[in-house]
Chain A
Amino acid sequence: MEPLNSKRLSTAKLFCLSGLLLLASGMVWGVTGGLQYLLPGFLKQYLSFEKVRPLHVSSVVFWIIFGAMGAVMSYLQQHNGKKMYSSLLFRIQFLLFGITVILILVSYCAGIFGGREYWEFHPLLALPIVAGWLLFLFNFLKTVGSLRQQPVYVWMWLTGIVFFLFTFLESYLWIFPYFRMHVVKDMTIQWKSYGSMVGSWNMLIYGSSIFLMDKINQHKKYSYSTIAFVLYFTGLFNLMFNWGHHIYTLPTHAYVKHISYAVSMTELFILGRIIYLWKASLTEAKKHFFRLSYRFLAAADVWVFLTLVLAIFMSIPGINVYTHGTHITVAHTMGATIGINSFILLAIAFDILSDTCQSFEPFTKLFNRGFWLANISLLVFWLSLIGAGLLKANWQMQTDPVPFQTMMLQLRPFFILFLISGITLMSGMLLLIYPLVGNQWVCYFQQSGDRQKPQHFPRMSRFSIE
């Protein structure tokens, strides 16, 4: 049987590498958008903000999706100890996604939008995404075979794939006049779909992180444990029913808000568990901190805590009234997408992409700098958004508020901090991405006739099929 880390660049690696390039693209567009906040009219003639924002959002969302697809299929093969059902289907899936993402990004530059908040593109471009996802689902199911005696991460991957498909299709119900006719109903369904969609890709990413932790620890005790399944079902319950916290102030059905409020509070259980296990996590972190993959998982743990605390507060309607529509919501999103999703996916990228012809050893200093620069910058970035959000919350609650533009000028110091930390965050991330991508480039494109065996990060035998 051909080993998984064959000399050919695997499709899972291609997904990871393309994802990293999309992350780089997303950060460049993010910084461009930050500049437009501070320099009104910057690039207005060519790429005004309504174009830059979707370029940023879609690049980052596709980084998450590409990374998650690569992780799931790579780890599923390692879990099964055999190759996937069809590598051809996986390649077709990659082509479908790759070409569509390029078309989507180009369409924004041409001023063609889906015009929905927050992840949007023309409905025609959603078709190949659905087709690619169906291939993913089919290939996954055929590779898994049976759900009997499967660890928690296989359940998470399966539910993540199924619910992403459902919510993605649901997010396009607006194309039917029945669904888009009434603005409040349309927004309710829109946020139902997007709220649950985030939960779906989180299932793919968190499942992959559990697999990676097992791999680092060299045992699978946790992924078969009762607590793992309790947390999985808590997450699934929230994925399905807590999305209403996005729309507390929308005049929709009252029960949507009550259900969401009650369900969101079950996250306190997850928070309590994090606090309870804090000391044990620190000991564990010290043991494995030298390992790059683990380091990012440890950083993601800190961001899970910070983001969860913020999310729980924002899920209380009485507090949400103040924070809704302010930059505190953005802080929450950035904490979740960068601090949790991106850091977990970087941990996975370091694991999957370490299996190449040359070692990452010469880049150790670079990785260390990148890691700390990204984390410290993200903290400043996050705090500056919370600061801006608090001022805006105060503004929108005043009895006689100053005009919007005056309020925006008052937020300027926070926007400056937000831009500077955004630039350093991008620099930190690029320090991490460059060697990850560069190494693959050297191994697969420049040394095609002279590849050597991997020199470090040996795969652990029980997870490897070689």
Chain B
Amino acid sequence: MFTDRSRLLILVLFAIGFLLYSITLYSTQPPKTPAVTALSSKGKLIWQQYNCTGCHQVYGLGGYLGPDLTNTYSRKGPAYIKAFLAGGTVTMPNFQLSAEEMEALVAYLQNIDASGTADPRSFTIHTNGTIEQ
């Protein structure tokens, strides 16, 4: 059924489809993109520097040891977040963050919070298996 030529043709067609799909995703923005500040951008790099995702999730993606932090900003507020960052917990080390680093991390969490909600209860499940928020 498959000749060498047809195999190659399928492969090339798949590759073209994949590249077009990739380029579309690279060049477009998702529906809701909250404004980014210099502070929240810095906060993102601090998040990565301390590997916060090793323990915490954002939109259900990340580690499982700590809670999902997607909407912590709106639910608990900046003071609550800073208290945890300043003291650590039994499990989470005190990373000795500077006041500026804490502000940046809080700004990043605020930016994540503004991008949507990770609460699975907020989804409507349709009979065809699709979901809508």
Contact = CB atoms under 8 A, between A and B. Distances in A.
A121 B32 CA distance: 29
Interface string A26-59: 0000000000110011001100111101100000
B53 A251 contact: no
B77 interface: no
B80 interface: no
A278 B92 CA distance: 48
Nearest to A411: B64
Contacts of B67: 404
Contacts of B51: 50-51, 53-54, 113, 115, 120
A192 B95 CA distance: 31
A396 interface: yes
Q: Which of B14, B57, B121, B131 has the most CB of A within 10 A?
A: B131
Contact of A185 (B30, B59, B130): B30
B88 to A, nearest CB: 9
Nearest to B2: A229
B41 A325 contact: no
B36 interface: yes
Interface in B1-34: 1-2, 4, 7-8, 10-11, 14, 17-18, 21-22, 25-26, 28-34
Contacts of B49: 113, 115
B93 interface: yes
B107 to A, nearest CB: 12
Contacts of B30: 182, 184-185, 188, 251-253
B28 A114 contact: no
Interface string B60-89: 111111111000000000000000000000
Contact of B120 (A44, A45, A120, A396): A396
Contact of B118 (A49, A240, A249, A397): A249
B65 A251 contact: no
A316 interface: yes
Interface residues of B, number: 64
Contacts of A155: 7, 11
A247 B57 CA distance: 12
Contacts of B47: 115
B64 A330 contact: yes
A50 B50 contact: yes
Interface string A306-334: 00000000001111111011010010000
A138 interface: no
A248 B118 CA distance: 11
B99 interface: no
A48 B93 contact: yes
Given A41-B91, A181-B41, A233-B14, A50 B55 contact: yes
A330 B63 CA distance: 10
A159 interface: yes
B130 A258 contact: yes
A186 B11 CA distance: 28
A183 interface: yes
A180 B16 CA distance: 25
Contacts of B26: 173, 179, 189
Nearest to B91: A40
Contact of A49 (B4, B59, B63): B63
A8 interface: no
Contacts of A229: 1-2, 7
A189 B29 CA distance: 11
Contacts of A184: 30, 32-33, 115-116
B93 A44 contact: yes
Contacts of B44: 180, 183
A247 B59 contact: yes
Given A155-B11, A173-B26, 19 more contacts: A45-B93, A49-B91, A51-B51, A54-B51, A54-B54, A113-B51, A159-B11, A182-B30, A184-B116, A185-B25, A236-B11, A251-B115, A253-B28, A317-B130, A318-B131, A321-B125, A396-B121, A399-B121, A404-B66
26 contacts: A40-B90, A48-B92, A50-B51, A54-B54, A115-B48, A115-B53, A117-B61, A147-B4, A147-B8, A155-B7, A173-B26, A182-B33, A182-B34, A182-B115, A183-B111, A183-B112, A229-B1, A236-B11, A237-B14, A240-B18, A241-B17, A249-B131, A251-B30, A317-B130, A318-B126, A404-B66
